[in-house]
Amino acid sequence: MKGTRFRPLSLETPKPLFPVAGFPIIHHHIEAAAKVEGCCKGGGLLPKFGGRFVRLRALYHIQAAAKVGFPIIHRRIEVLQKKGKFPIIHHHIKDAAKDAAKDAAKDAAKDAAKDAAKDAAKDAAKDAAKRHIEAAAKDAAKDAAKAAAKDAAKDAAKAAAKAAAKAAAKPAAKTAAKRLLQRTAAAKAAAKAAAKDAAKRLLQRYIYLSVPAVQYTALGTAGGIYHFRDQILAGKPDYFFVMNADVCGDFPLQEMLDFHRSKPSGTFCTILGTEATRQQSLTYGCIVENKATHEIMHYVEKPETFISTTINCGIYLCSPAIFSPLEIEFKKNLEQNYNYDYTTAPAKEVIRMEQDIFVPLASSGKLYVYQTERFWSQIKSAGAAIYANRHYLKLYRKTHPERLAKNGAGKPQIIGDVFIHPSAQVNETAVLGPNVTIGKNCMLGDGVRVRDSVVLDGAVLQDHCCILDSIIGWNSTIGDWTRIEGTPNDPNPNKPFAKMEAISTFTFDGKLNPSITVIGSDVQVPSEVIILNSIVLPNKELSGCYKNQIIL
Amino acid sequence: MKALILVGGYGTRLRPLTLSCPKPLVEFCNKPMLLHQLEALVEAGVKHIILAVSYRADQMEQELKSVEEKLGITITISLESEPLGTAGPLALAREHLTNDNDPFFVLNSDIICDFPFKDMIKFHKHHGKQGTIMVTKVDEPSKYGVVVYDAECGRINQFVEKPQEYVSNKINAGMYMFSPAMLNRIELRPTSIEKETFPGMATDGELYCMELQGFWMDVGQPKDYLTGMCMYLTSLKKKNSSLLYHGEGVNGTALVDPSAKIGKNCRIGPNVTIGPNVVIEDGVCIKRCTVLNGAHIKSHSWLDSCIIGWKCVVGRWVRMENVSVLGEDVTVNDELYVNGGRILPHKSIAESVKEPQIIM
């Protein structure tokens, strides 16, 4: 998943980290998983990641996952790609170590200086000296902590010691100062050790996260799971979830777990399924089930003719027993690689979950489908992000009502579901909603109107401008009375179970298909113009109106 | 002295406005088009005005009663049972035009300029022939019929229809002065004064022309109506007219009726005419538009190059541009985009008009 259909937004951020309803797409997966009972013990999280996961920004979801207690494993990070002299992984490790050292040094220096000062002060004979030392030590600790945060532990501790020694240079405090000096030296050593240790720990964690990802090619969903089998099975989980990052929905994970548990032991996998229209089912994995037991009788990925309206949602709950068919498949692949030449066969470890595992396992009594009628959609295009935004905001009514903006005196008028980041400044004459997300540090002027749109961090919407069915990129500026308008590609409301159409960018005769208007990051749109059904790439300074165009 | 104004047909080119109101009564810069001409004629000493009309005579007659009194003139309506072109109406009104021997004016009703009627009288009397026509300079003469004349005395040599090569850049401005003898050249049938009468007069050396100074525009269709409005307002500005509005939120030339209400944080102008009883809410930007009597423009809307008809309501955050024309009593819902839409009267628009089109 490289997110090419998500450009130009994925030029700035890997698609899974694109914010929908105020949080990265993948954050919603993590939140859903965290709610499952016993998830940390029994489950794991395997985000399907690819392509451009090379930025420090990605540290975000490491933190997010750590918060809810998940080990997160990335697959196919192009870590061997070089950036400057070293491979990218080197930079990651370096940065991580630096951060760790910083933190550790800060803590260590602070503690050491504090302790030393305390002891020294206690030992000091005279009250005056005591007071003086205490003050000095406090300062020293402060300075040390500050300095340490900036540099490494070494410098920090030295500075602390120096400051303390200098302040304590009065004869009355001489002995105390000496001791302090000694203590600080000890602190210095301790800080150094602590920093080293912390860096090592983080390095280990990072390597654990990254090293298995040193791959030359994509592995396929199942190949990835097999590759990470040791990490997944660490701690002997009873089950684990596999979730594709490019879907959104109100995932019934707990219900899936309960359903899975009710099936005979030895069941490999429960697939989350949903209903689609006959026509649209052809673009998904189609499942034929035994209506009574929900066992999967037949599975076809993207069939040419109609098979079933039950489709695969890309959310799986697996028992560790799934590794046995994976292993068989893996070995079969290896064998084939011996016998055939590489050019025709897929790469060594590629095992596709759907075609290679589900298809042969259908009718074996090992695969089940759990059908949901809750909201679910793929997130392929930018238009889907607006659709996902609407549904995640709606979901907040149930899960996080505090995240939704409310009407009130001195506040902008809110219609329907709206998320406004607390740091955003929105004029009280603005009207927002329904289905609007306003990012961090955004500024919305007098009489601004936003509907069915996502405004990303740092964007500035000047007075009286009107934003409809659009995404406004990071740090872009929209002028006075300007109108930014797109065309939604929402599912056909007249058909039950209709999904979003994956429309192509251009029509047969080469015209741009009307879609959501996307303004890339750092784009300047002047006053009083209209940008209609267009895609503007980053860092452009527009000078007039644009309709149905891609602006390079 | 008398004048005949060729009002003519249905004014289809200025639809949808002319579906609600006869063209001569449609306001141009807060005054019915016809009144611009009537007032200028009265000032030049004209006492009797004949309107050559081929439809809606009743409505015109009623409306013009008060004008007659106000200006102290006689207005006669000469109703054509069938359209008679540009020359036929002269034959029809012959009895009115020949009851004395004075020369008379003939005007197309769609033109807007600084009417030079006094100069025309002087010029006409000076050369003493049957006809005088006003000519005006244009940038692209190839689109029109041009007039070739003697620059010294103004005697017209010939008319060239859509010249392929440059012969002249002066065109007929649609204002004439004739002596009654000229009427002998016209039969009572549908006929064109430009194509059938003038060439003969020119050949006989009976037709002279005079160049118009200042602006001139045929405002018979929306695009030209707006261009003409800009010219008229610019001319008002040059004359330092006290009619121009200088209130808060105004940006460039604007003509605003005193009964109109304008909200806060608006940007009105340049080249905007706002009619009586119009309400403009806060934060509205209007450029190059005419807003007619009783229209209501809601907050944060943006209008450029539009004609907003009588009693229309334009919603909040509406964007209208590219010679959009709203007929009488049209409602445009909030947040819509209207690009070059011609909206017929009494419609309610609930969906954007993204490409120029007519909404029935």
CB-based contact (8 Å) between B263 and chain A?
Answer: no
Closest chain B C-alpha to A6 CA, distance in angstroms: 26
**Could you tell me if A245 and A1 are in contact, meaning their C-beta atoms sit under 8 angstroms apart?**
yes
Tokens 């029109």 belong to B144
pLDDT-based confidence at residue A163 (cuts at 50, 70, 90): low
DSSP helix/strand/coil, B198: helix
Residues 293-352 of B with CB under 8 A from A: 299-300, 302, 304, 316-317, 319, 321, 335, 337, 352
B162 is catalytic: yes
For residue B71, give every residue at least 6 positions away whose Cβ sits within 8 Å of its Cβ, in sequence order, or none. B38, B39, B42
Measured CA to CA, the distance from residue B348 to residue B360 in angstroms comes to: 11
Residues of chain A with CATH 2.160.10.10: 402-551
| CB contacts, 8 Å: B319 with chain A | 466, 483, 530
Q: Above pLDDT 90, what percent of chain A? A: 35
Give how far the C-alpha of residue A422 lies from the chain's centroid of Cα atoms, to the nearest Å.
Answer: 20
Query: What are the pLDDT digits (tens) for B63-84?
Result: 888 888 888 888 888 888 888 8
Measured CA to CA, the distance from residue A101 to residue B43 in angstroms comes to: 93
**B7's tokens:** 């009002």
**Could you tell me if A226 and A323 are in contact, meaning their C-beta atoms sit under 8 angstroms apart?**
yes
Measured CA to CA, the distance from residue A336 to residue A343 in angstroms comes to: 12
Query: What are the pLDDT digits (tens) for A128-145?
Result: 545 555 565 566 556 655
| CB contacts, 8 Å: A532 with chain B | 337, 354
Query: What are the pLDDT digits (tens) for A296-309?
Result: 999 999 999 999 99
What dihedral do alpha carbons A349, A351, A352, A356 form, nearest 10°?
Answer: 150
Indicate whether A162 pLDDT > 80: no
CB contact under 8 A, B354 and A463: no
For A427-431, A486-490, B25-29, which range has the lowest pLDDT when averaged over its residues? A486-490
Output phi, psi for B92, to 5 deg: -60, -40
Most distant CA pair in chain A: distance in Å? 94
> Pick the residue with more confidence: B311 or B62?
B311
Indicate whether A73 pLDDT > 60: no
Number of C-beta neighbours around residue A441 at 10 A: 15
A15-80+211-378 adopts what CATH topology? Spore Coat Polysaccharide Biosynthesis Protein SpsA; Chain A (3.90.550)
**Could you tell me if B209 and B133 are in contact, meaning their C-beta atoms sit under 8 angstroms apart?**
yes
pLDDT-based confidence at residue A169 (cuts at 50, 70, 90): very low
Closest chain A C-alpha to B4 CA, distance in angstroms: 45
CB-based contact (8 Å) between B237 and chain A?
Answer: no
The arithmetic mean of pLDDT across residues A509-528, rounded, is 90
Amino acid (1-letter code) at residue B304: D
Which of B281, B302, B352 to probe by mutation at the A interface, max A CB count within 10 Å? B302
Mean predicted lDDT score pLDDT of chain A: 75
**Could you tell me if B6 and B111 are in contact, meaning their C-beta atoms sit under 8 angstroms apart?**
no
Give how far the C-alpha of residue A232 lies from the chain's centroid of Cα atoms, to the nearest Å.
Answer: 20
Highest mean pLDDT among A298-307, A491-500, B182-191: A298-307
CB-based contact (8 Å) between A428 and chain B?
Answer: no
CB contact under 8 A, A530 and B319: yes
Taking alpha carbons only, the member of A165, A163, A135, A169 closest to residue A147 is A163
Measured CA to CA, the distance from residue A98 to residue A94 in angstroms comes to: 6
Q: Which of B299, B304, B354 sits opposite A532 (nearest CB)?
A: B354
Read off the pTM.
0.74
Residues of chain A with CATH 3.90.550.10: 15-80+211-378
Tokens 């209609």 belong to A532
| CB contacts, 8 Å: B265 with chain A | 446-447, 463
**B215's tokens:** 């602006």
Kindly report each contact of residues A38-42 with a partner whose C-beta sits within 8 Å and lies 24 or more positions away, as own/partner: A39/A68, A39/A69, A39/A70, A40/A68, A40/A69, A40/A70, A41/A235, A41/A237, A42/A237, A42/A238, A42/A239, A42/A240
Per annotation, catalytic residue among B162, B239, B261, B264: B162
CB-based contact (8 Å) between A451 and chain B?
Answer: yes
In DSSP notation, B285-339 reads: EEESEEE-TT-EE-TT-EEESEEE-TT-EE-TT-EEESSEEE-TT-EE-TT-EEE
CB contact under 8 A, B335 and A528: no
CB contact under 8 A, B265 and A451: no
CB contact under 8 A, B317 and A466: yes
Amino acid (1-letter code) at residue B139: D
Q: What is the pLDDT of residue A350?
A: 77
CB contact under 8 A, B302 and A468: no
From the candidate CATH numbers 3.40.1190.20, 3.90.120.10, 3.40.50.1220, 2.160.10.10, the one assigned to the domain spanning A402-551: 2.160.10.10
Q: What is the pLDDT of residue A347?
A: 52
CB-based contact (8 Å) between A444 and chain B?
Answer: no
| CB contacts, 8 Å: A435 with chain B | none
Q: Please give the angle made by the CA atoms of B137, B142 and B143, to the nearest 5 degrees.
A: 85
Q: What is the ipTM of this complex?
A: 0.81
